[in-house]
Structure 1
Amino acid sequence: MPGNHLWKGMASQRRRRRKRRGSFSSLLLILGVLSLIGIQADNHKHVIQFTTVGTGSSLLDHFVVDFLDDVQVFSYNKYNQQLLAKQAWISQALGAKFIAKTRQKLVEHEKSFLWFLKKLMQNETKHDVNRTVQIFVLCEIERNSHIGNEIQIAVDGQDFCLLDEEMGNWIALMPEAQSFKPILTSTLWTTQREHYMQEYCINTMKKILQHSSIKKNVPPEVTVSHYESMDGITTLSCSATGFYPSSILLHWQKREEIIVAGKESSSGILPNADSTFYQRITIELPPEDTGTDYDCVVDHIELGTPKAYPVRVKYPKKRSWMVTLAILGVVILVLSCVASFIMWKKMKTGYSIHECVTLEDIQLDLQGH
């Protein structure tokens, strides 16, 4: 999806701006646990992403993508000006009147984005340069109660301004954003924003969730592998795929102790084509560590309690040379027995014990019998 990498970066920057205490590793663990607890407590989030590309005089592109709990719900673009639901039952749950009203609002948004571009570029000498404006809107509920909103605006991939809901004001993150603050903080715009968040972000989410779950929970399929390179470095890999919701915790442990050493890496939580998710973690061990007694521990709501998946270490076949020697020994023994038997026969039939028994003698004697 276009712009998805930007939204991940913006979310990361939002998190960095918040005040935190404690070590980074402890914070990651706490955030993961809270995320899992949030899912178990019927925590849901609704995200609406607006992306516009244009100049001060026209819009070249304008599209909207709507997500509920990481699953796409709606899409809209300026070319067909239609609000398209990913599944028919979603439109039925919201009703034709609400769909038509929302579509009309999105058409009107095109004029608002064009106004934004004009004001943004009013002091620029080149008015035909394309600029990209993106708006990230998020609302979140827990146990059907509203617990928070976020609005952030980006221009050309850089944070422009954001709404600090706790402080109740807009924060300008670029110098150009200062001129927009009087409008954003005005009573009229504040009232419209609050109405929009309630009707189109929160109420839409609640209506869909009351009709049906957007997607059933699915447990992860976990695969653990062990690889030893030529230089003696052992790498352990643990992948979890096909799970939903996206909240999951993966970590390594050895003899039930959490691993904090080693070169660890993670793919992060990535989407699959079927709206499920994937994550892979690896750890590189020192040469003296063969990777035995390691487990990949996976914590997901559908597993109930955290589950440990052991590493199966496959040792090379060290006894293959012994098998080869055994076979060779049997062959030598058989030949020795044959040679002894022939020598005994020849001695019995008049051959001198000092005569040399050749391979030809053995072959001829065997043919004679």
Structure 2
Amino acid sequence: MITRDAFRGSTTDELLYVDKNFTYQGTLNVSAHDVLNIHLEISKRNHEHIYHPYCIKTLKGYLKKRRNQVNKKVKPRVRFIQKTNSDSGGFRVSCLATGFYPRHINLTLFRDEQPVADHEITGGDLRPNGDGTYQMKKSLEISAADKHKYTCSATHLSLDNKLNALLEFDHGEPFKSVIPSVLTVLALMLVFGAAAAVWKRRYAASEETVDTTATFKSM
């Protein structure tokens, strides 16, 4: 516990109480030394027998009421998010750790098992979730020709070991994602084309039958 007295914005004296030991520092110009000693003795007695016990009692009561909240531990969920950067033609990869409690977490990005320099990383702010847990996101810009291996590692009180997420970066992913769509469109075109051809053929055959019947009756 620390008690400070101040005058005109400056600290005049400070009384520090740690482990039942007192340390005093002051700049008071007190003519009667005995007066200062009496003041210190009274302050020490108040700290030792009133302030400190009452503070500890209050903290213990608060911790007892909040036991479940204080002792709660929720493991984080860690994953990579990859988005195309239209301006640079590269990618923005983000490591997101969310849903963890308590709030302190270490989130580190690795490139080929080496920590990525801080000046390359953006984000890293701790933000609350609506359910009382927290989240943190760190992002990195990489080029389309990047061939490195990226890993995100999280350490947290709820984890026995580090929790790692590996970036499965596929440079052909944009092209691959287009192929199924193209094939689907082609397949639909073929189905509709075949259906139209069959319908046209049947329609022509029915017209020919009608004409033949009409000619036969006239004869």
Range class of TM-score, shorter chain:
0.5 to 0.7
Per-residue Cα deviation, 1:262-282 (whole angstroms, up to 9, x for no partner): 521334334445443332222
Cα distance in 2 for partners of 1:265, 1:169 equals 45
- Which structure would you say has the larger RCO, counting Cα contacts within 8 Å and 6 or more residues apart? 2
CA RMSD between the two structures = 4.7
Cα distance in 2 for partners of 1:239, 1:293 equals 17
* Contact 1:226–1:236 under 8 Å retained in 2: yes
Cα distance in 1 for partners of 2:113, 2:95 equals 16
2:59 to 205, 212, 219: 205
Cα distance in 1 for partners of 2:14, 2:138 equals 35
* Contact 1:246–1:277 under 8 Å retained in 2: yes
User: Is structure 2 residue 77 aligned with structure 1 residue 218?
Assistant: no
Cα distance in 2 for partners of 1:233, 1:364 equals 56
TM-score (structure 1 length as normaliser): 0.36
SS at match of 2:109: strand
Corresponding residue for 1:358?
Answer: none
Cα distance in 1 for partners of 2:101, 2:43 equals 37
- Change in Cα spacing, 1:298 to 1:210, as seen in structure 2 (3 Å) is same
Corresponding residue for 1:276?
Answer: 133
- How many Å apart are 1:296 and its aligned residue? 1.4
Corresponding residue for 2:212?
Answer: none
User: Is structure 2 residue 171 aligned with structure 1 residue 317?
Assistant: no
- Change in Cα spacing, 1:296 to 1:191, as seen in structure 2 (3 Å) is farther
User: Match for 2:77: what amino acid?
Assistant: E
- Report 1:1-369 matches (<5 A): 168=23, 187=40, 188-189=42-43, 191-193=45-47, 198-209=52-63, 213-215=67-69, 216-230=72-86, 231-260=88-117, 263-286=120-143, 288-289=145-146, 293-313=149-169, 315-318=173-176, 320=179, 323=182, 327=186
Cα distance in 2 for partners of 1:171, 1:285 equals 57
- Change in Cα spacing, 1:254 to 1:263, as seen in structure 2 (3 Å) is closer
- How many Å apart are 1:295 and its aligned residue? 1.8
User: Match for 1:305: what amino acid?
Assistant: N
Cα distance in 1 for partners of 2:63, 2:50 equals 19
Per-residue Cα deviation, 1:155-181 (whole angstroms, up to 9, x for no partner): xxxx97696958945699xxxxx99xx
SS at match of 1:245: coil
Identity of counterpart residues, as a percentage? 21
User: Match for 2:125: what amino acid?
Assistant: G
Cα distance in 2 for partners of 1:152, 1:214 equals 35
- How many Å apart are 1:310 and its aligned residue? 2.0
Corresponding residue for 2:213?
Answer: none
TM-score (structure 2 length as normaliser): 0.55
